Structure 1
């Protein structure tokens, strides 16, 4: 696929200092980030400052202002009890997070989130996903999700994992994506999204329909060298005023340290260097158009630790960005296509 060049990109893998400052400063309806360096000595202090509200950004054309920290429920959904999941969700809302992401594949996640939604539904922007290749599969999935979530609608419904779907025919009048768009008109969701980790070349056909409100994409400074959603997909989303949420900012679960079913699992990026988490979050939030980082949480304790990274995130300097991308290039060679193929068969 021919790469789209974006004015915000000064070259492959680099953003101008001006764009980083702009993204980390005042965004449309968003908050101003006050510079603060989270050193090891200051981390515990920053983590304790829970009275300071989490910054929010506008999620593209939805007009919704969501917190820059979206609670991801895959880790706790795969490793915790329903009650423990509910405790994580309640703690997140109490801490000021208003964006919650879940999915049928996260084992007990939707049920745990549902325990909270029956009382706190109006406090959050709720997203779930449809991992379906047919309308029949989609109908069963959505019906079950709404039942478990104890609500009659979600704010955002994703056509999930585009790189792993049978996309042929999805846009046909009787296709699964067309069906999903109809759910918006039927009141089952307020907005329609697409999500994915690989095969970025598949995304333009959906974004160009004008029906996609939100993009959830795998974004980190390692996989930029492999999948490169940053240059191949995010510019199209921005052109269409599609809201962008970054996921897999830590590279996904490290298989050497356990899958999401293991409560001690960690992201690939931080498995050997925990200090990378701050840089990974700052990188994602500095990308133009990114409204929020979807970060998976295992426990209430982990939630409280990670909140510190979102209170006052700083833009990356040009030197920091260059160093990250150089490190990312070396790691990408080791990780390979760990989310699946980067290109379709036969595509150069």
Structure 2
């Protein structure tokens, strides 16, 4: 890239002046069908809340975020002391029900989201399912994790919690494979309480609704208000999870989204449009690529205090435009960012929390041109090999699972010709969004079908009422908004 382009990109990402935002002015967005209005900045539960360096008071980060008016707070059952730290901060702010001075109105303003990495709600045969993980010593199920969260944040940390304690959101965390989707959906429609295992979704639904179809909620408690999913790696698995949800149970998606996203199997043109078309709230994460944008060299998730980045961006790559980018991706409601430290002052050049809150105060999204400039600058400074947590690019793929069928007893009522029905599942988008599908028969283009996010397992379809007697060879390919085309998917059908 030449020096002229470099100077243009530097100017573009540094152009916007800083404006100090007061608490009552924080920009908010609706979190999908949850009906909750949340701040565009959410406090991530990792960084110094999980791995505090010597001299860093993790509680102060939470306290300051609440004082500044932040309403979305993130944590997890696999984030070490994160939930306990929230518990300590919440006690200082009188956010624990049943304790004298409980501030119920402040608690209602906070949207508290935690996560479980357990894929099942019931386990009787010792099989915890694919990729189970929890910091809880005796945790075997997602239901165990929910009660652990309540105990650590609102209770005694030993399994007990106040009767009125609740979690605003529990998310099935880090979905990477279809096997994991199969596991957490198991038994959802007709859970058998005597089965060896039941998926996490059915159990979380019981804990949301106060029912006991799975046997995990004998007291009929309503411990959670919303259920979500999260993922970094694989848009395909997340899309499958959303498409299977015929009951509208999954309310939110937490997904990695940053300015190098389009270099990978991107989320902004794949799972995010599906989630929004389904009415879900979307929260972005990994805005700074787990500090890979700022010199972190390892290609694994942060796991110690030395991995926590303690400065505010860098001269070469300021942090604010990266926040602007993620919040400008269509469909994103909020971004969560972990904080390394806060300062006694509110100087955004020193205080990561203040800097990121201020950066999140955008009311209108960036233009596509500005977003491309930020992408170019990010790749120039940080390189393209940053999103180790994201699946490599698969490009624009052909329509999946193309099939054809005909009813030999049915002839088109106008022409008398055989009728053939084509069906296929969505292509995966490359660097540009999907536009439409092009259909040909016998090498001749015959139709276009507009693309729309596939929100269920119901396929795209096309009816050819002019099929020929004998062999009909069909091809379907995807076309993106920049005119790019996928390879053809092909299928043949013989009409007698």
Pairing 1:175-186 to 2, within 5 Å after superposition: 175-186=199-210
Q: Which residue of 2 aligns with 1:137?
A: 141
* Between 102-111 and 247-256, the greater mean CA deviation after superposition: 247-256
Secondary structure in 1 aligned to 2:185? coil
Q: Which residue of 1 aligns with 2:180?
A: 166
Q: Confirm or deny that 1:244 pairs with 2:294.
A: no
- 5+ long unaligned stretches in structure 1: 1-36
Contact persistence 1:223–1:251 (CA under 8 A): no
Contact persistence 1:225–1:328 (CA under 8 A): no
Secondary structure in 1 aligned to 2:253? strand
Pairing 1:296-335 to 2, within 5 Å after superposition: 296-301=338-343, 302-312=352-362, 315-327=365-377, 334-335=384-385
Q: Confirm or deny that 1:99 pairs with 2:99.
A: no
Secondary structure in 1 aligned to 2:69? coil
Question: 1:127 pairs with 113, 127, 137, which one?
Answer: 113
Q: Deviations over 1:249-277 (max 9, x none)?
A: 1112333289352267339x9567341x2
Shift of 1:231: 0.8
Question: 1:211 pairs with 232, 249, 258, which one?
Answer: 249
Contact persistence 2:260–2:386 (CA under 8 A): no
Shift of the 329–51 alpha-carbon distance from structure 1 to 2, 3 Å rule, reads: closer
Secondary structure in 2 aligned to 1:122? helix
Shift of 1:206: 2.0
Q: Which residue of 1 aligns with 2:326?
A: 284
Which whole-Å CA distance do the structure 1 matches of 2:264 and 2:380 have between them?
11
Secondary structure in 1 aligned to 2:112? strand
Q: Confirm or deny that 1:110 pairs with 2:124.
A: no
Which whole-Å CA distance do the structure 1 matches of 2:364 and 2:113 have between them?
27
Structure ranking higher in strand proportion: 2
Shift of the 39–335 alpha-carbon distance from structure 1 to 2, 3 Å rule, reads: closer
Shift of 1:246: 0.8
Which whole-Å CA distance do the structure 2 matches of 1:323 and 1:331 have between them?
12
Secondary structure in 2 aligned to 1:193? strand
Q: Which residue of 2 aligns with 1:65?
A: 37
Q: Which residue of 1 aligns with 2:236?
A: 201
Shift of the 261–223 alpha-carbon distance from structure 1 to 2, 3 Å rule, reads: same
Shift of the 83–321 alpha-carbon distance from structure 1 to 2, 3 Å rule, reads: closer
* Between 188-197 and 84-93, the greater mean CA deviation after superposition: 84-93
Question: 1:74 pairs with 41, 46, 61, which one?
Answer: 46
Q: Which residue of 2 aligns with 1:235?
A: 273
Q: Deviations over 1:75-96 (max 9, x none)?
A: 0222228992221111101100
Shift of the 203–264 alpha-carbon distance from structure 1 to 2, 3 Å rule, reads: closer
Q: Deviations over 1:2-28 (max 9, x none)?
A: xxxxxxxxxxxxxxxxxxxxxxxxxxx
CA RMSD in angstroms comes to: 3.3
Contact persistence 1:75–1:263 (CA under 8 A): no
Q: Deviations over 1:27-53 (max 9, x none)?
A: xxxxxxxxxx9969954xx34x43552
Count residues in correspondence: 306
Contact persistence 2:77–2:145 (CA under 8 A): yes
Which whole-Å CA distance do the structure 2 matches of 1:204 and 1:51 have between them?
36
Shift of the 147–83 alpha-carbon distance from structure 1 to 2, 3 Å rule, reads: farther
Which structure has the greater CA radius of gyration?
2
Shift of 1:104: 1.6
Shift of 1:328: 5.2
Structure ranking higher in helix proportion: 1
Secondary structure in 1 aligned to 2:181? coil
Q: Which residue of 2 aligns with 1:256?
A: 297
Contact persistence 1:282–1:313 (CA under 8 A): no
Query: TM-score, normalised to structure 2's length?
Result: 0.55
Secondary structure in 2 aligned to 1:324? helix
Secondary structure in 2 aligned to 1:215? strand
Secondary structure in 2 aligned to 1:335? coil
Secondary structure in 2 aligned to 1:246? strand
Shift of 1:323: 1.9
Secondary structure in 1 aligned to 2:70? coil
Which whole-Å CA distance do the structure 2 matches of 1:94 and 1:245 have between them?
22
Q: Which residue of 2 aligns with 1:16?
A: none
Which whole-Å CA distance do the structure 2 matches of 1:248 and 1:297 have between them?
12
Q: Which has the higher contact order (CA 8 A, sep 6+)?
A: 1
Q: Confirm or deny that 1:89 pairs with 2:89.
A: no
Question: 1:154 pairs with 144, 150, 167, which one?
Answer: 167
- 5+ long unaligned stretches in structure 2: 1-11, 96-106, 122-139, 155-160, 188-197, 211-221, 344-351, 399-496
Q: Deviations over 1:145-177 (max 9, x none)?
A: 111111631001100001177333321112122
